Amino acid sequence: STLTDARMLQIVSLSLIFVAATCTSKGGPSVPLYNAAVPNTLMPMVGIGTGSYCGKGKGNNESYRPLCLNETGAAQMTMDWFNAGGRRIDNAITYTAWKGIAAGILKATDNWTTTPRSEVFITSKTGPPFPLGYNDSIEQWQQIVDAYQTKYIDLLLIHWPSDNSSHSHSSTDPYCASNNTLYS
């Protein structure tokens, strides 16, 4: 028999609760980020990667994505993770339900009033299929911090170079454009 979406959501939620309960950022294992902008930054070793919440675009491995959630479903899964004790979220502006993940954190923390922002470690990413370059990355970063209603992201990564040939890698910065001969 096949699993219904509701049953799959329940199984994933229970798995998240188990993982979060056994290893959270409060007293749980973490690693130092030596080159962080803020000294003594620690990244919890256990977090939730949200890329598998959905993403049926070109180049995605469908077998890797057992559950496709809209923003509401992604928000609920994120709240389940947070309420179980999880404090590290890995998201990207390119993920289908990325705004739902941010909304889930905001709801779980009551817009940062019940849990301080400093107790949640947020990793996010910029880049393809969006334009690359300094100004492009700053604009994407601004969208991310606005969605989380925060002033910073703990770890910001740039998804590039990409092996997905459908991305044009355009940029306002000519040194980052895919047609630059430095990258040929």
Q: Average pLDDT by consecutive 10-residue portion of the chain (184 residues)?
A: 59 57 59 84 85 52 56 88 90 88 95 94 86 84 96 86 56 63 54
pLDDT of residue 15: 59
Rg (alpha carbons) of the chain, rounded to whole number? 17
Q: 25-30 contacts: CB < 8 A, separation 24 or more? A: 25/86, 25/87, 25/88, 25/119, 25/121, 26/85, 26/87, 26/119
Whole-angstrom distance, CA of residue 143 vs CA of residue 17: 29
The angle, 0 to 180 degrees and rounded to 10, between the axes of the packed helices 71-83 and 5-22 is 30
Q: Are 74 and 106 in contact (CB under 8 A)?
A: no
pLDDT in the model for residue 4 = 61
- Structure token digits, residue 54: 């959905």
| pLDDT tens, position by position, 19-73 | 555 444 455 788 898 888 778 888 998 888 777 555 544 444 455 445 567 788 8
Strands (E) in 91-135, as ranges, are 121-126
- Measured distance CA(59)–CA(65) in Å, rounded: 12
Q: Is the pTM of this model over 0.85?
A: no
Residue 64: the pLDDT is 47
